[in-house]
Structure 1
Amino acid sequence: MSPAITVGVISLLNCKQKKTSSKTDIDMDKVVAEARKNWAGNYSYKAKTLRTPNTVEELQDLIKESVKQKALGSKHCFNNIADSPTEQISTKNLNRLISIDEDAKTVTIESGIRYGELAPQLQEKGYALHNLASLPHISVAGACATATHGSGVTNGNLPSAVTTIELVTADGQIVELNREQPDFYGAVVGLGALGIIARMTLDIEKTYNVRQDLFQNLPVAELQEHFDEIMSSGYSVSLFTDYQNDTVSQVWVKSRTDRKLKDFGSFYGASAATKKLHPITAMPAENCTDQMGVEGPWYERLPHFKMGFTPSSGKELQSEYFVAKENAAEAYMALVGIKDVIFPQLMISEVRSIAADDYWMSPCYKRDCVTFHFTWKQNWPQVRKILGRIEETLSPFGVLPHWGKMFTLEPATLYSRHKKMDDFVLLAKKYDPKGKFRNSFLDLNVYRT
């Protein structure tokens, strides 16, 4: 069936028939969770059941019937933020692109669609998103709920593209929130505390191409002196380092070819890469998106890893810490100061930049940020000790963690540094007064009870 265009809206709803919703059908979907783990395998979900609705109506019925539940997206969180004491509801089958509004330059989707599934469909219609994360394997709603991001000094995080959400609340009703409503800014990066997002609308723009230029062995002295210039050298820039030497091992510069390209004849003392590289230099680069200045579609360059391949190293732990951009160079050197503590469990660390946003629970709320991302060996007892040292070292800079990764900051510290935490707790109680969506992660880090 060809797409129908009406008043500037392209309908792309998948018209394959699905089974009709009924309480009997939903009960048949109820399964006992058996050794279910997250993507990296470091966390086993404790929820007794997993249910997978095929329609928004089924999702509404499930939420209304359940006592305690939590949304489960693409399982890319490294902690228990998506777990539940009783039941999880997977959004993986809510994965359709519903429509494109050509006049408003927006796309409406179901919440469980992954960026790697959405992007080619947008490209086919001549559109793009403003940015993507390092991996395209993550679901849109899950990424936005935890303030996940790509890189770029002028690029906001992934939630910054959201214009509207349709939230299924504890009573099974749908509440629509948009940028004109104050609650919207507490609900988009909602940590799963308000309900389960059924549909979302995102800003889109005309498609564009990107090239990746990689450089090796950037002198740390140059980074200290020219941090802002280096991070501004492309549309999206990443630094990869182990903090061990006087150089940053790799710099990935992703440039939009529809904008003026910079001359990379000399790059702050770093040398141009002569072959494709994996961020972890010892690993083969075939899993990575094309490099060496080869131009390609936005969705095949902005992520570091290809959709059809295992991203990063696979078996790993991850943590990530946000500091204000003006403190970035000083924070980097502070981490160099504890390099001997970090190195034994480190696979690689990535440094990225993100523009400020207005989302209450975003670490970039009202401040431009730089993040220090760590990919660790899967040795939690040792990594936990290291995280404590990193958090202590970055404490003078008001450090905040990524909600979906590993951290050990005390709840009181999170409260003091997230300026809208009190407002968020009131908002969560407004939409979920009986705590249907609460879990141990929220009880510890948000509700503190």
Structure 2
Amino acid sequence: MEQQELKRDLKNRHVQLIAIGGTIGTGLFLGSGKAIELAGPSILLAYLIIGIAVFFVMRALGELLLSNAGYQSFTDFAAEYIGPWAGFVTGWTYWFCWIMVAMADIIAVGLYVQYWFDIPQWIPALICLIILLGLNLLTVKLFGELEFWFALIKVITILALIIGGTILLVIGFQTDAGTVSVKNLWEHGGLFPNGITGFLLSFQMVVFAYVGVELVGVSAAETANPQKNIPSAINKIPMRILFFYVGALFIILCISPWTQLQASSSPFVQVFSLVGIPIAAGIINFVVLTSAASACNSGLFSTSRILYNLSSHKQGPARLAKLNKNHVPSDALLTSGVVVSIGALLSKLIPEQAFSIVTTISAICFIWVWGIILISHIRYSKLRPDLREKSTFKAPFTPFINYAVLALFVFILIIMLFAEATRLAVLMTPLWFVLLILFYLFKRKNSK
């Protein structure tokens, strides 16, 4: 029987926009409000530090993916360079990460629609999920098109904010909160108004803001020209981080003193309102709606491909390794969709702190995935110096930068353990890894 393969139908523009879409999401549009409350203007430095760390993770990921055309995702090289258990645990953990993110985002879709229509939030949430599932079942090219347009809306919004904000900054525009000025960065308690503690506590939400940047790696198996497109997408990440995160938040903090921004709502909505755009709230509500839909779309895509990959390697149900006539892992996609819908219904019954718990668990699990990428790259450099020598996309400063970023991730986990808002999630998350290890040992024993 001929081996089924994922179809390489993603073009360069799809990969580039998937990379942008992966780095602009709910974490930036909504989570930045909470991060600003904790860190004040020093949030710019927090985004810069984590952004640099994520870039080095992506360079390691890019080199590993391009070292073997057979790799479909980072679970493949984790299994090869660390051990089968690492591939198993990382694969299922990545699936779990995106399930959690998709749950949060699909609930957010329902909440955003309620801004216009007084209907139960589960109705638009379920409709959105069904539409995304239907489109993803057709072809991978449709996933690329969806992300292309979703990302375009985000980009246009942030461009409008940065260009408009720069003009206001140059002319010294007066808002209800005062004059638009760079002085707003330090005239309200300094750059670190809440001290080093507030700065460090913001790292959890900043990490969550970057989740999804590695989606370029998951889409590698379906990229028409990975040798060209993957390096191109990864090398543009630093500029995107500087522009979309640091640039956008810099303008926001110049338009309004950080003390005037409320953590409970998007700072993007608030600054558009401050400069006197009457329909600002509606415009930004539409943007965050599409952002949440985009994140859910990415979640369905990545979870289905992870399930397909795990099942193809006999680490999941064999049925999930089947592709439909459009070369889409339909059973894996539907399975993820069902789990997301159940999670959304359950999450609806949990109080508001559930979103914080879900995002924290997601951030911890993504730190695991990023850490495994770095460790795999260290092992690859030691065990396959021949491939390292031939590589046309070598990750810089190896292995020193790998160890430095790993140390940063451990430090962030320690901070999250001591923070009251994230402590419960940090203590709960190890249970997931214990269950996975037990499941892996059980499965290995049965296979023997």
Hey, which of these two has a bigger chunk of strand by percent? 1
Q: TM-score range by the shorter chain?
A: under 0.3
